Structures are given as C-alpha cells and as structure tokens.
Amino acid sequence: MYALTIVYTNAYLHDMIKMQVNAFDWNKGNREKCQKHGLSQKEIEYFFQQKEVLVTPDPKHSDDEERYLAIGRSQRQKPMFVVFTLRDVNGERLIRPISARYMHEKEAKRYEEENAKIEK
C-alpha cells in the first residue's frame, strides 16, 4: 500500500489531498517508455515508497485523463521526475507511470536549492 499526498497550488490556494494507492499498473508500453530514460520498474516503484515525494497535478497534460507529476529522489539519491495517472481497477487504486526520468543538471540544481529552503 502506498500513500500519496497530492498538492494543489495556485496564487490563492494551497490544498493537500492524501490518498491510498494499492499497486502499479504496468504494461509493455509504459515499462519501455520509462526504461528508455534509464529507470527500471523497480526504481520507479521504490520512488513512490518514499515520504519525500512531492506530487502535483499536471493540468497542461490532462486533456484525456488527470495526470500528476511526482518529484523526488531515486534509490541512489538522484533527483527524478515521474509523470503518472491513477486508475481504479477492480476496486483497487493503481499508479500508472507514463514517463520517468532523472532530472537534467539545471533542474536538479533548482530542486536541491528549493529542497534546502523547505528543510530549514
């Protein structure tokens, strides 16, 4: 069982929603797309087990289904992104990874700077 905290923000609103997620929804397509960027299924599943993952909606890419962007660290402590959606299948809520990659150098630097501010 995984616990996700989704953060909704804009200039006037900061709202957090906690939800339980049972497992992952993998198939050949999303597994290959994530592996193309150097991340294994195991690494992505580990990523979601951590408490330090920030999850936010991705309205820009949510035309067909609601998508989310997760930001955090891999098991090797490398900053990474995961784009995913949530699916309800047979009464279970599943995380369906769409794409995952390590952050580029500039993104990682900004992530580190912002993370340092939060930890103070």
Percent of the chain clearing pLDDT 70 (strictly above): 79
The number of domains in the chain is 1
Taking the model in full, what pTM does it have?
A: 0.79
Q: Residue 14: pLDDT band by 50, 70, 90 thresholds? A: very low
Is the pLDDT score of 61 beyond 80?
no
Contacts of 16 (CB under 8 A, 6+ apart): 5, 6, 7, 8
Is the pLDDT score of 76 beyond 70?
yes
**What domain range includes position 84?**
2-119
Cβ pair 36, 102 in contact under 8 A: no
Name the residue with tokens 């995952």: 100
